[in-house]
Structure 1
Amino acid sequence: MLWLPAFVVGLVQLSIANPLASKRWNDPAVKHAWVETPRGWEFHSAPPPDHLFDMRIGLKQNKLEELISSLYEVSDPAHERYGQHLSKEEVDALVAPHPDSLETVESWLQYHGINPADARFRSTASEWVTIRVSVAQAERMLDTKYGVYYHAGSDSYVVRTMEYSLPRELHSHVDVVTPTTYFGTMRSMRSTSFLKPQTVTGAEDSFALEISPLAVPASCGTTVTPACVRAMYNTTSYVPRATGTNKLGITGYLEEFANDADLQTFFKDFLPADVGTTFTHVQVNGGLNTQSDPGVEANLDIQYSLAIAVPTPATFYSTGGSPPFVADSNTPTNTNEPYLDWLDFILNQTTIPQTISTSYGDDEQTVPEDYAVSVCNLFAQLGARGTTVTFSSGDDGVGGGNCLTNDGTNKVIFQPAFPASCPFVTAVGGTTKVNPEVAVDFSGGGFSRYFAQPSYQTAAVSPFLTGLGTKFAGLYNATGRAYPDVAAAAEGFQVVISGRTESVAGTSCSSPTFAGVIALLNDFLISEGKAPLGFLNPLIYTIPSGFNDIVSGSNPGCGQAGFTAGVGWDPVTGLGTPDFLSLQALVA
């Protein structure tokens, strides 16, 4: 670690007695502030001053621009570096903070009586540092007041603040501090799946039969089985060959985990030849795996990613982070920050799955921009290392609820979703029906207000914007990152939950299904001695012929009709749904 040697720390301690040092740290400037309490949350009480929590400090990465440049080069099929993904050590070297940033942050910590050597966690590049502090300490350090806030919709309590400040000198060295103004938790965020009224009491024998891609039955438009998605996306005939190297990852939160017995029942009913195939459980930050109460989301994700990719080895990451707030200074509660715990873990692994799917998201405007950018850049690290990261695009069309802005103006605008709006992930929208597929009406899609439109999608998005003209003017950001990138089926998925087959819908169906197709493409490439696909977007926007274009349907929301699917890319289904054999030929 690039932490200061003892003699420098000693100098810092001596400087605390110096009035100039005191002035250095007593010049606060606001880093982020809300004008109103985020919707759905309400102030509950003041936390005890001695309540302890883990504070994360994200330092500015010295060579971040070089990392992003390398990411695009190794992901661009027209570039000479295509497929030459970076090692963990190479990524760490690019994201490490400048020594001046380390020294400045350490001096600030020392001023507040915190020994940097006592940090509870440091990323291997030292760009993320976690320290344990009391509420009183955090309030002094960040010139703020913390409160306990309650979210009735999820029965969640968190310790957060309406604004926080840092000394002006730190603004050029620190990207973000958490937990501060990001109120979202995995419990309050939306899992992008939901049960449908239809209940299937037992699987029919025909469900286990393979279906010809040339004759997908109409029943697959309402009752989706593994045979359906294999036929719809043309994977039926492919047999994985690189299972010793190729891996698939599924992330889970909210104390959800995938159930082993349910997977075997799923295989017995739908894929009898694969009975006995298992997956690896990994618990992160107190994640659970009791096997006693399986989650809809978790079972859906593991069952349908494997329905496509079996026998590709799969890992389910059960990540903790949603305990209730307990006012106990001796029992610190988790900071409850979505994604960061899992990202801390996975980026510190030497080897990681080549394909990873996640099915959670929230309105972009509820995520402080500094936090969103920092998390998005962590996904860029995964891409640079050769991993494809897919996210569900959301289940609220162009926006759910009243779609009012939270900046005090209370305007109605379309609400993009994060992390789907991050330009370094592949966002997956939803479809329904067959022969042809059409956009499902809840498919999340639109344009980011935080992230600019990346060059890899400009040529595809421009025709849509031209055709849209002035329609919805002022309701969306035409220069923002456009999503989704692709789509897959999202309704009528037959999922085994506690031994019972239920019908599930949502773009949570779409992301793991699409990830399964990508896992097969990675299997093919690795078996041919080639690099895996990694960050997918620069490639797929150059080969739209590998997708089934979805030309009908829309995604209403915010009291508006929403965008309409049409020829070419659209913000409902992206480039369309995958055709595995076509994509296989294109990437060969």
Structure 2
Amino acid sequence: MLALLLIIPLALALPKSHESRHSHPKGWRPHTAPSPSHPLPLRIALTQSNLQLGASHLEVISNPDSPEYGHHWTPEKVAEFFAPSTESVSAVIAWLIEGGVEESRLELSKSKGWLSVHNATVQEAERLLSTTYSFYTHVSGASHLACSDYSLPPSVSPHVDFITPTIHYDFQLPPPSKRGLKREKRAKGMPPAAQLGLPDSASLPKMDLGGLFTIFDQLTHCADQITPDCLRAMYGIPPAGIRLSTSKNSLGVLEFAPQAYLPADLDIWFRKFLPWAVGSRPQFAGIDGGNLDPRSVGLQYNGESDLDLEYTMGFVWPLKPVLYQIGDSYLSGSFNNFLDAIDASYCTYLGGDDPTQDSIYPDTDNPDGYQGTNQCGAFQATKVMSVSYYTCVANVLPVTPMLTPSQYMKLGLQGVTLLFSTGDSGVASGYGVCSEDGQYSSTGTRFVPSFPATCPYVTGVGATQLPEGGSVFSKEVAVESKVYSSGGFSDIFALPSYQSKAVQSYYAKYAPPYTAAQYNNSQAVRGFPDISANGLNYVVAASGNFTLGSGTSAATPVVASIFTLINDERLAIGKGPVGFVNPALYANPWMLNDIISGNNPGCGTDGFAAVPGWDPVTGLGTPNYPAMLAYFLLH
């Protein structure tokens, strides 16, 4: 099959630099030269077609004022539209074979986006890429194989996005404040991007350690305890009950091992807040060995999943959410592992998933771990997805922000609403530390944006709270007790057109008092969050007891439930799902409750302030369900 693609003659020309690095990240230094025969897992990301056009198409079909609104694409159309051209595949294969690589060692991914060179060596890679590899060591003792630059023939370079491993320092280190807390799984080399669900992950909600002995039923206590009735009163959410389009509708909740809900916890919560749902369970979709590990018991293992499912099921019942349980009992799984499982056109494990970032299967290090291959396109994407997990851009492989956002764009084209929590540490990283020279530092002063909430094709969810001593009818403020709503500006992603007017207005009226040394103040980059919801003191049944949970990871499933309920009404009258909602929200901010008080401190500063209009603390504000429903039913 590959031979049929060899149709393009190569122009004889000297290689030109494709990527280069002029300095090493802080703490790294060259150490020794590798053996020429040292194995090197060479992976080539081929240039995708039509990415810029894809972004334009997404805005058109996501704008309710457009005649194309809601005309979502099929997975087949998406795969065909973005696949690297035959010309690109042919050019790269021909170059490799001309360079001495046997065709039998080449493997093209199903999406045609990745080309793997099996059994490559350092000597071979150095010859192909006109470079020199070295082992680099970190002050922590970590070692990494990389080069400072590499070159490609002019006839090949336009067809290649990037190649790994090369200049990218994809061996990331835990933040300094956490290195003493490594669990056995990390010591075994668990990839950093696949640490999302570990008990000390910054993604998890802040759970009160003591049990909750009194649960208030009156709405007058919502400033102290958030219950479903509090949220219904605050945002106008309808009661649980008859749904119009349950068979057509869907909501997905992502959980990463070892996080897992306890069935008994759901029933404890249902008996208090939704008694007719006792015994109800989510639809289970186990990805890459995902399971409800009975050995993982405790708030640090069950709190997140219990909270997510209790509140989504509490709002959308009798619709049963799909629980995407990702990773076996040893490897937590990553965002890429999830994307592999829901979209066969993305499935990059044949050359895209990176062993230093993503969980790779079979799990050969653990005999009782998942021994199958990464699941490729095994599950359908739900119409709405709630993701209460995040990482920081400093925590992921530099090439990841190039790839993952395009996949989120493709899901948006298919009508999927993606909601990601922004984090709970204000302008700092999830661990409360900041950045210095691109690395975590306890003395750093640069703000750390979260990911994927900064991606322009997802909806980032921040957190608010009722003011201390306030009632359910009090105007909310940015959350300032126990957690701080993460928000700010991306260091990577350009300002999307749908957000341009809001960000320009923010800078014109409320420009922050910080310099480019602290954040990207170019006024030309993506701001986050987009929307918020209450994130303080949710009543949660976890590990057999009631307690309180807080964070943007509590707000996200509430917002996801609201869009699921809106989809229910739309589907009942023959319309499609709302899909990517950001263009509609920014064009119609009146649908949301503006938050104008509070801030998100960190990095030795007060952070940003909540102000009238969009702000990098609470976004456009909190949901107004009746207004949102009326708008989305009209369009």
- Paired residues of 2:477 and 2:595 also in contact (CA < 8 A): yes
Q: 1:174 aligns with which of 141, 160, 172?
A: 160
Give the secondary-structure state (helix, strand or coil) at the position aligned to 1:255.
Answer: coil
- In percent, how many aligned pairs have the same letter? 31
Cα displacement (A) at 1:306:
2.2
Q: CA deviation at 1:272?
A: 1.3
| CA displacement 1:75-128 (0-9 Å, x = unmatched) | 011111000001111111111101111112323554463646863x724x3224
Question: SS at 2:285's partner residue?
Answer: strand
2:596 aligned residue: 551
In structure 1, what is the equivalent of residue 455 of structure 2? Answer: 422
SS of equivalent residue, structure 2 residue 475: coil
Q: How far apart are residue 551 of structure 1 and its match?
A: 1.2
Shift of 1:50: 8.5
Structure 1 match to 2:485: 443
Matched, 1:405 2:405: no
Counterpart of 1:258, as a letter, is Y
Question: 2: distance between equivalents of 1:429 and 1:556?
Answer: 14
Find 2:230's aligned residue among 222, 228, 231: 228
For 1:385, which of 407, 414, 419 is the aligned residue?
A: 414
Displacement after TM superposition at 1:439 (Å) = 0.1
SS of equivalent residue, structure 2 residue 493: strand
The 8 Å contact of residues 483 and 571 in structure 1, kept in 2 or not, is answered as yes
Q: CA deviation at 1:158?
A: 9.0
Q: Residue 500 of structure 1: CA displacement?
A: 2.7
Offset, 1:366 = 4.5
Q: Give the 5 Å matches for 1:325-474.
A: 338-348=334-344, 349=377, 351-367=380-396, 369-400=398-429, 401-406=433-438, 412-433=445-466, 434=472, 435-441=474-480, 442-469=484-511, 471-474=513-516
Q: Partners of 2:254 and 2:22 in 1: how far apart?
A: 30
Give the aligned partner of residue 561 of structure 1: 606
Task: Quote the Cα distance in structure 2 between the aligned partners of 1:48 and 1:317.
Answer: 42
Alignment map for 1:40-439 (pairs within 5 Å): 57-110=44-97, 111=99, 113=101, 115=103, 119=107, 122-123=109-110, 125-129=111-115, 133=119, 136=122, 140=126, 143=131, 145=133, 161=146, 165=150, 167-169=152-154, 170-178=156-164, 181-183=169-171, 185-187=192-194, 190-197=201-208, 199-202=210-213, 204=215, 207=217, 216-217=219-220, 219-237=221-239, 239-293=242-296, 294-320=301-327, 338-348=334-344, 349=377, 351-367=380-396, 369-400=398-429, 401-406=433-438, 412-433=445-466, 434=472, 435-439=474-478
Change (3 A) 1:472 1:130: same
Q: 3-state SS of the aligned residue for 1:508?
A: helix
For these two proteins, the number of residue pairs brought into alignment is: 550
Q: Report the alpha carbon displacement of residue 526 of structure 1 after superposing the two structures with TM.
A: 0.9
Is residue 617 of structure 2 the alignment partner of residue 572 of structure 1? yes
Gaps of 5+ in 1: 325-335
**Quick one: distance in 1 between partners of 2:622 and 2:32?**
48
Contact 2:436 2:444 in 1 (8 A): yes
> Which has the higher mean CA deviation after the structures are superposed, 185-194 or 444-453?
185-194
Q: CA 1:107–1:221 in structure 2 vs 1: closer, same or farther (change >3 Å)? A: farther
Separation in structure 2 between the aligned mates of residue 109 and residue 283 of structure 1, nearest angstrom: 38
Q: What one-letter code is carried by the residue in structure 1 that aligns with 2:159?
A: H
Q: What's 2:469 paired with?
A: none
Q: Is the 8 A contact 2:506 2:615 kept in 1?
A: yes
Taking only aligned residues, the RMSD between alpha carbons, in angstroms, comes to 3.7
User: Counterpart amino acid of 1:457?
Assistant: Q
Q: Do the aligned residues in 2 keep the contact of 1:37 with 1:162 (CA within 8 Å)?
A: no
1:508: which partner in 2?
Answer: 553
CA pair 4-541 structure 1, distance change in 2 beyond 3 A: same
- Answer with 301-310 or 167-176: which moved more: 167-176
Q: How high is the TM-score relative to the length of structure 1?
A: 0.82
Paired letter, 1:420? A
State which drifts further: 27-36 or 44-53: 44-53
**Amino acid in the other structure paired with 2:501:** A
TM-score (norm 2): 0.77
In structure 2, C-alpha distance between the alignment counterparts of 1:571 and 1:314, rounded to whole Å: 30
Kindly provide the amino acid, as one letter, of the partner of residue 308 in structure 2. D
Q: Which residue of 2 aligns with 1:4?
A: 2
Q: What is the CA distance between 1:54 and its match in structure 2?
A: 6.7
